[in-house]
């Protein structure tokens, strides 16, 4: 797995396509558990996670393993103002913990800022 992190509209998708030009781009919110997960670029992780954080954390742990051949794009949510809503804080914390797990499993982790990718693992 390759994990690509960064803010909204910072060039994550463009970078993913650059490193894997023939991969299909799919939104994880449309994942039913029936289609093959490997060999694709997956977007929409934050929205998918927000819909059901507890279930999504468990599913992400099962879907994205060390051997999963995917590129996963995740929006950065930890650098900024602390949310006022307790639900938003729980979402941010849960997402952060899940991304830590995914990063530990990833063969490579990149952060993209202003269209510039930086390899951090």
Residue bearing tokens 């929006």:
75
C-alpha distances (whole Å) from 95 to each of 34, 47, 99, 105 are: 24, 11, 6, 15
pLDDT in tens, 69-107: 999 999 998 777 777 888 888 888 999 999 999 999 999
Q: What pTM value is reported for the model?
A: 0.91
pLDDT digits (tens, 9 = 90+) for 48-60: 999 888 888 888 9
∠ CA 76-48-27, rounded to 5°:
90
In the structure encoding, which two tokens stand for residue 8, read together?
């909204």
Q: Which residues contact 26 (CB under 8 A, 6 or more apart)?
A: 35, 40, 41, 42, 43
């Amino acid at each position: 797995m390759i994990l690509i992190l960064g803010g909204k509209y910072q060039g994550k998708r463009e970078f993913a396509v650059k490193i894997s030009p023939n991969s299909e781009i799919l939104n994880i919110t449309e994942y039913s558990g029936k289609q093959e997960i490997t060999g694709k670029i997956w977007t929409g992780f934050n929205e998918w996670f927000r819909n059901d954080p507890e279930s999504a954390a468990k599913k992400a742990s099962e879907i994205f393993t060390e051997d999963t051949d995917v590129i996963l794009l995740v929006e950065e949510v930890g650098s900024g103002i602390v949310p006022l809503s307790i639900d938003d804080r729980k979402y941010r914390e849960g997402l952060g913990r899940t991304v830590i797990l995914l990063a530990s499993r990833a063969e490579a982790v990149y952060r993209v800022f202003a269209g510039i990718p930086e390899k951090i693992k």
